[in-house]
Chain A
Amino acid sequence: EVQLVESGGGLVKSGGSLRLSCAASGFSFSTYNMNWVRQAPGKGLEWVSSISATYSPYIDYADSVKGRFTISRDNAKNSLYLQMNSLRAEDTAVYYCARALTSVAGIDYWGQGTLVTVSS
Chain B
Amino acid sequence: DIQLTQSPSFLSASVGNRVTITCRASQGINSYLAWYQQKPGKAPKLLIYAASTLQSGVPSRFSGSGSGTEFTLTISSLQPEDFATYYCQQLNSYPQSFGQGTKLEIK
Contacts and interface: CB of A to CB of B under 8 A. Distances in A.
Interface of A: 35, 44-47, 50, 60-63, 96, 101, 103-108, 110-113
A44 B46 contact: no
A112 B41 CA distance: 9
Interface residues of B, number: 25
B54 interface: no
A106 B94 contact: no
B89 A108 contact: no
Nearest to A96: B43
A105 B101 contact: no
A106 B98 contact: no
B95 A105 contact: no
Interface of B: 1, 32, 34, 36, 38, 43-46, 49-50, 53, 55, 87, 89, 91-92, 94-101
A9 to B, nearest CB: 14
Given A47-B96, A108-B46, 14 more contacts: A44-B101, A60-B94, A60-B95, A101-B49, A105-B53, A105-B91, A106-B34, A106-B36, A106-B89, A106-B91, A107-B36, A107-B89, A108-B55, A110-B43
B87 A45 contact: yes
Nearest to A45: B98
A62 B89 CA distance: 14
Contacts of A110: 43-45
Contacts of A62: 95
Contacts of B95: 47, 60-63
